[in-house]
Amino acid sequence: MSNLSLLSMPNEILLVIFSHLRDPYPLYPLSTLCRRLHHIALPLYLSRTGVYTEPSGSKSETYHASSISIAGDKTYTLAALQIALFLRDVPLRTLSCTFADSQSQVIDFARFRRLCSMLGRIETAHLQLQVQNHGYFGGQPTYDDVVHVLNAVLEKSCVGLTVDVAHDPTLGPARLSRRGRGGDPTRKTHEFQTLAVPALSSSAFRLKTLKTFRMHSEILFSPHCRAWTIDVLNSFPIVSLSIDVPSVPTDALDALLLVTEIPTLRDLALLRCRVKPSALHLFLSRHPGITRLHLGHIFVPSLQERLPPDHLPQLRDLTAPAPQISYLLQAMEQTTSLRAVRVLSHMTRLDLSFIDASLQPVVSRLESVYITLVLPVPPQLPRFGTDLELLSSDDCLLALVRTLEFVFAPENVTFTKLSDYLCLTAWCELFPDLKSVELSGFDSTYSTQLALEALHKRVQKVVLNGVEHTDTPLVPAL
């Protein structure tokens, strides 16, 4: 017994001992002592810290189970990930990382690139960057590192890439400038020119695997990263493109759209953006294959700047606020392919009245279209319902609504009592031809069975967080 040591114990005993450690950090230095401890202690350390999902099953199933998710307060685990021998040539389903610590970003970027270089493949990647640490016209070395990180991901046959913003919890949400659609008039046009910085790598260019690109960070539109962004958009077979950059000036976004052409584009989402009608029209005219279009709360151009009537001939699904829907349908002469329209609104009397007034000019176009009304649920649920007099008219557009989609934000209300559900059922009474109700991001401490029973009295189908429920009895939630 005097010669007993860690290395003399079988692997099963070591796993039991290591799993009982309250603090997983000692497992990391232990994993550097020898190869055997490396393969035992390091996977346990990474899984205990919550950054690595260990694969289960056979090696053929590894790809479907492996994922790495690094939160902003756990970028220190990159030091362990970059030396993990068991990750060499391993394909990942998802790789996400939040670079929120400005003090260690340079080191974190380098470690992240080394991690990517040892992986076999990355199917989808989600990168979050602390935008206020960079500044829209921040230092070039930091932006060079960002481009190198993006290249490292694309060089691993990445199919879906999301570049997002890691919001500082001490700051409020980003808002559009009140200066109007032109942005800050003090900014000079030369600031939007492309600078001599690293662009798309040759290895990533040869692979060309990216199909889904979500551009949700202003860094991609900065002068230091603009060349890389343009190369990716014009070189890859992108099918789905999403742009959500409320703080990017109009000139910067317009300049990017004017030089972009994606022949394979089918799904386009312009969410919180500031864009001129002429730039948007030219972009849409170069992409006649778009079948799904999602427009956020961007301003509506006048009909004098209308979209040419022969554009978007294959458009099937349209999501937008009522003014944008009305404008597009009035501008387009042919909408025979249009099958579904999702109207973005709010749970107020004024918004419902506004929808009805905005869509009256295109009522004939909407009669043969499946209409969904999307309503974000506010923290204080509106308690009115049947007292709304909008539906007294036979030609009211709300009578055409087939689906109500209630969207719950993560910080939103949690249903705790029956009256919360009765409020939603009261809203269903406003729409006489309603067929289904969808609840997204729904959370409740009350009986789910009672909620479904109440909604099934009004509609045929209820979809709860992506799961369709029938009117058969369910087991009450505990």
Across 3-12, 291-300, 325-334, 351-360, least confident range? 3-12
Is residue 29 over pLDDT 60?
yes
**What is the mean pLDDT of the segment spanning 26-43?**
89
Q: Residue 285: pLDDT band by 50, 70, 90 thresholds?
A: confident
**What is the mean pLDDT of the segment spanning 364-371?**
90
The torsion angles phi and psi of 422, rounded to 5 degrees, stand at -60, -30
Is residue 389 over pLDDT 60?
no
Q: Long-range contacts of range 69-72, CB-CB < 8 Å, 24 or more positions apart? A: 69/94, 69/95, 69/96, 69/97, 70/96, 70/97, 70/98, 71/98, 72/98, 72/99, 72/100, 72/101, 72/128, 72/130, 72/166
Running DSSP on this structure, what letter comes out for residue 190?
Answer: G
Across 83-92, 219-228, 406-415, 421-430, least confident range? 406-415
**What is the mean pLDDT of the segment spanning 460-473?**
76
**What is the mean pLDDT of the segment spanning 277-300?**
86
Which pLDDT score, from 0 to 100, does residue 307 have? 65
How many Å apart are CA 137 and CA 139, to the nearest integer?
A: 7
- Between 1 and 454, name the one with better pLDDT: 454
Which pLDDT score, from 0 to 100, does residue 2 have? 54
**Max mean pLDDT range (53-67, 227-241, 322-336):** 227-241
**Max mean pLDDT range (98-102, 245-249, 266-270, 420-424):** 266-270
Is residue 420 over pLDDT 90?
no
The H or E element that residue 93 is part of is: strand 91-99
**What is the mean pLDDT of the segment spanning 123-140?**
67
Tokens of 469: 């429920």
The H or E element that residue 454 is part of is: helix 448-456
**Residues comprising the chain, all counted:** 478
How many Å apart are CA 424 and CA 416, to the nearest integer?
A: 14
CB distance 167 to 98 below 8 Å: no
Please tell me whether residue 43 adopts helix, strand or coil conformation.
helix
Q: pTM of the predicted model, to two decimals?
A: 0.83
The torsion angles phi and psi of 33, rounded to 5 degrees, stand at -75, -40
Beta strand 91-99 with 292-295: parallel, antiparallel or unpaired?
unpaired
Which pLDDT score, from 0 to 100, does residue 415 have? 66
The dihedral built from the CA positions of residue 341, 344, 345 and 347, taken in this order, carries a sign that is positive
Residue ranges per structural domain of the chain: 1-48, 345-478
Q: Residue 134: pLDDT band by 50, 70, 90 thresholds?
A: very low
Q: Residue 58: pLDDT band by 50, 70, 90 thresholds?
A: very low
Which pLDDT score, from 0 to 100, does residue 214 have? 98
Per residue in 204-261, pLDDT (tens digit) is 999 999 999 999 999 999 888 899 999 999 999 999 999 999 888 888 999 999 999 9
Which pLDDT score, from 0 to 100, does residue 23 have? 83
Closest to 250 measured CA to CA, from 173, 322, 187, 320: 187
Per residue in 263-272, pLDDT (tens digit) is 999 999 999 8
The torsion angles phi and psi of 146, rounded to 5 degrees, stand at -60, -45
User: pLDDT over 90 for what percent of the chain?
Assistant: 36
CB distance 151 to 201 below 8 Å: yes
Per residue in 296-308, pLDDT (tens digit) is 877 666 656 666 6
Per residue in 430-453, pLDDT (tens digit) is 888 888 999 888 776 666 777 777
Q: Residue 83: pLDDT band by 50, 70, 90 thresholds?
A: very high
**What is the mean pLDDT of the segment spanning 270-278?**
86
